[in-house]
Copies of this chain bind each other. A is one copy, B any other.
Amino acid sequence: MNFSEKVREVQQRTNSLLCIGLDPVLEKIPSHLQKTGDPIVEFNKFIIETTSDIVCAYKFNLAFYEAQGVSGIEALEESLESVPNEILTIGDGKRNDIGNSAERYAETLFYGFEFDAVTVNPYMGTDSVEPFIRDPEKGAFILALTSNPGARDFQKLKVGDNYLYEKVIQRAKKWNTNNNIGFVVGATQPRELASIRKRVHDMPILLPGVGAQGGDLKKSVESGCSKKRDMLLVNVGRSIIYAQNVRDTALEIHTMINTYRNEEK
């Protein structure tokens, strides 16, 4: 099954577009878990056990694990083991390098950590992305239009009649012979999201920026879902993992997403 089919399958089976971002900051972890031997692992396990029946994926931002040195890498490995096999895992490292180095990153993330998908920065072009899209079963979400303020600096530069991020999308669509490419599009720009969805048809879109970053959930779901197959992964991190009641908050967001998504049909 190629990655695109996997996304479709897991979203249908779980009836969920929710992806939870597991980016734990040690200081924000509840105090009773701080006392355990490995607070990050215990925290992640708790979030996963509490939510795995209402999500389609978990996204791990590598910056947060690398920040803890060797123990962070071990925590990442252990946390991944807690994710049920039938739920997708995304290694959010935004990696990019020339061919032979990119190959090492891809090997590490796909076959070391065994992530189902990764995020990839497109700036260095074809050979820097190719190692991440070689295996049809593994997915690569290419940064198109990100959720941060700096997105306007380069991604929104005009290249002829298009924005740079549109050129990235055009090119990536040509690379997509294995049906395993998706895009990262920030929830902070719903108008652009709608236009991107039209261009990419049923390709997966990973949507960060809902919640703490201020993206509007309703507009994003309405703009970002493919008419036929959804294929939108709505990433929510801080607003869920640090919520007073994690389960209730996750369920509430999950339900809202499904309401907005069904209104669309």
Q: Report which A residues bind B (CB closer than 8 A).
A: 23, 61, 63-64, 66-67, 69-70, 73-74, 94-99, 101-102, 104-105, 107-108, 112, 121-129, 143, 146-155, 157-160, 164, 167-168, 171, 213
CB–CB A64/B104 < 8 A: yes
The 6 closest A-B pairs by CB, nearest first: A125-B150, A125-B153, A98-B148, A63-B104, A126-B150, A63-B101
A121 in complex: contacting residue of B73, B121, B149, CB < 8 Å: B121
CB–CB A168/B154 < 8 A: yes
Please tell me how many copies of the chain the complex holds: 2
With A66-B105, A70-B74, A123-B154 given, name 6 new contacts (CB 8 A): A63-B101, A69-B108, A122-B123, A125-B151, A128-B150, A157-B164
Q: Measured between C-beta atoms, what is the minimum distance from A121 to chain B in Å? A: 5
CB–CB B123/A155 < 8 A: yes
CB–CB A148/B127 < 8 A: yes
Q: Measured between C-beta atoms, what is the minimum distance from A23 to chain B in Å? A: 7
* Residues on the B chain within 8 Å of A154, using CB: 122-125, 164, 167-168, 171
CB–CB A104/B66 < 8 A: yes
